[in-house]
Amino acid sequence: MSYVSIIRLGCYYKYMKVHLIGIGGAGVSALGNLYLGKEYEVSGSDTNRNRFTDILEKKGVKVIIGHKADLITKDLDLVVYSNAIPKHDPDNVELAKARELGVEVLSYPEALGRITKEYTTIAVSGTHGKTTTTAMLLHILQETGLSPTGIVGSLLSSSGSNYVEGDSNILVIEADEYMKAFLNHSPTMIGVTNIDHDHHDIYPTLQDLQDTFKEFANNLPELGILICSALDQNSWDTFEDLARTVIDYSVIPVEDLSLKVPGAFNRRNAQLAIALAIQLDITLEDATKSLESFKGTWRRQEFKGEGDNGRLVYDDYAHHPTEIMASLSGFRELYPNKKITVIFQPHLYSRTKNLYKEFCNAFNPEYVDQVILLPVYAAREEADPEIDIQVMAQEINNTGPKAMAAADFQDAITKIDNESEVIVTMGAGDVTELSNQLVLRK
């Protein structure tokens, strides 16, 4: 068993005044909640309000829309900024003012990394499934009385929050590989769902990604534990010679596990969550039983409601070919005899270009009856004229289900097959707004 000890924390913290730039981000907003739990004075700014800022404002955080230099004052102890800020606003006036005044400035990964040193930190990482696995582990620990603190990259269906407040020394975080953010963390235990080539702008090759995961694993102390699957060859190749304890989560039995979230990939996520929990002296039986009441997270096979003609509307964050195939397999498992339409919004031109063939083959006709492609959500990138969704739709149509391209959300709605019974909006961009429109149309 693990050498981890569980203690209850007191409520005595040094008072600090913190300002968060990009407070509406999933990670930064969760950090704001954690700072509030330490009784810090928290303020923040962002370009728009969203459900994350709404939660913080209800707790008394002053959220300013727009970035203004006068929000930064000399009495601030710390300014934390989202990693998105330097990319989208390299001359951000608040960052410039903080540096001018000599206020300490940290990126979100750096700030979270500092927090990880204060706790027994369990970091859940991996290319796919880390949000759900993090949420599953937190659910197990809460149900079994360990009272963890947690930061998740989505909203938990059970609480509507991306933050779990606990009173023990256990911190569970979703550790992101994008921009090598997780290298800032100091975990006691790491869980890796899988390793699959993604974020080609940061990792040109799979080997680059594996090397970075290995570097992250070396942040573990000598007695630290890493848990991954021997069935995921990329993971096993990465960690098989790691000078730490490596545990195979694929041996965890899940034959009798009853999950509310469908799909073989969710059972694999559950295996990792259970394996991590066992290292905290939770029994296999208790961990398995706890997951029976797990309700999932926002935008992970999330049921939004009924649309026109009683159609069932779901929203899903899958944006990589591997995730698409896994998610659609889960939907087919849930609805073996219903006609399923997927409205997919590719996320990033670079990802679509680098994985073009994989995307065209991701829509298995056994799982989906119709595919509607939306224009690429460019996010941080410039448009690439080589990516044509009309051509992409035709290639999907040649070997897979019926596929077509749509100019925009409204056009996509008009293209939905009249016989469709389940509609899934899918992607990491703003396609989630379309799912809301489909439900509201009822």
What tokens appear for 113 in the block?
A: 């990394």
CA distances from 428 to 251, 324, 397 (A): 32, 11, 23
pLDDT at 201: 84
pLDDT at 197: 87
Question: Going by DSSP bridges, is the β-strand pair 78-81/149-151 parallel, antiparallel, or unpaired?
Answer: unpaired
Question: Would the CA dihedral through 198, 204, 209, 210 be positive or negative?
Answer: positive
pLDDT at 1: 46
pLDDT at 313: 93
> What is the DSSP-derived secondary structure letter of residue 429?
S
User: 121 has which bridge partners?
Assistant: 171
Q: Which residue has the tokens 């300490």?
A: 104
Read off the pTM.
0.78
Q: Are 439 and 310 in contact (CB under 8 A)?
A: no
Vertex 263, ends 257 and 267: CA angle to 5°? Answer: 40
The residue among 315, 308, 367 whose CA lies nearest residue 336 is: 367
Question: Would the CA dihedral through 260, 265, 267, 271 be positive or negative?
Answer: negative
Vertex 304, ends 83 and 320: CA angle to 5°? Answer: 45
Residue 320 DSSP SS3: coil
The residue among 159, 134, 158 whose CA lies nearest residue 27 is: 134
Distance in angstroms (rounded) separating the CA atoms of residues 178 and 82: 13
Distance in angstroms (rounded) separating the CA atoms of residues 66 and 19: 14
Q: Are 203 and 209 in contact (CB under 8 A)?
A: yes
Q: Is 255 exposed, middle or buried (0-12, 13-18, 19+ CB in 10 A)?
A: exposed
Distance in angstroms (rounded) separating the CA atoms of residues 171 and 148: 6
**Amino acid letter at 172?**
V
The residue among 279, 287, 230 whose CA lies nearest residue 254 is: 287
Question: Would the CA dihedral through 231, 232, 234, 239 be positive or negative?
Answer: negative
Distance in angstroms (rounded) separating the CA atoms of residues 110 and 133: 23
**Amino acid letter at 309?**
N
pLDDT at 441: 67
**pLDDT tens digits for the chain (442 residues)?**
456 667 666 555 677 999 999 999 889 999 999 999 999 999 999 998 888 899 999 999 999 999 999 999 999 999 999 988 887 788 899 999 999 999 999 999 999 999 999 999 999 999 988 988 999 999 999 999 999 999 987 777 677 788 999 999 999 999 999 889 999 999 999 999 999 988 888 899 999 999 999 999 999 999 999 999 999 999 999 999 999 999 999 999 988 888 877 778 888 999 999 999 999 999 999 999 999 988 777 777 788 889 988 899 999 888 889 889 888 988 898 889 999 999 999 999 998 999 999 999 999 999 999 999 999 998 878 888 889 999 999 999 888 899 999 999 999 999 999 999 999 999 988 998 999 999 976 5
Distance in angstroms (rounded) separating the CA atoms of residues 82 and 20: 8
Domains of the chain: 17-108 (3.40.50.720), 119-291 (3.40.1190.10), 302-440 (3.90.190.20)
CA distances from 349 to 17, 200, 319, 353, 394 (A): 40, 11, 12, 6, 18
Sequence length of the chain is 442
The residue among 181, 160, 92 whose CA lies nearest residue 173 is: 181
Distance in angstroms (rounded) separating the CA atoms of residues 191 and 271: 11
What tokens appear for 394 in the block?
A: 């035709």
Distance in angstroms (rounded) separating the CA atoms of residues 116 and 189: 11
Question: Going by DSSP bridges, is the β-strand pair 149-151/163-164 parallel, antiparallel, or unpaired?
Answer: antiparallel
pLDDT at 442: 57
Distance in angstroms (rounded) separating the CA atoms of residues 166 and 199: 33
User: 23 has which bridge partners?
Assistant: none
Q: Are 168 and 177 in contact (CB under 8 A)?
A: no
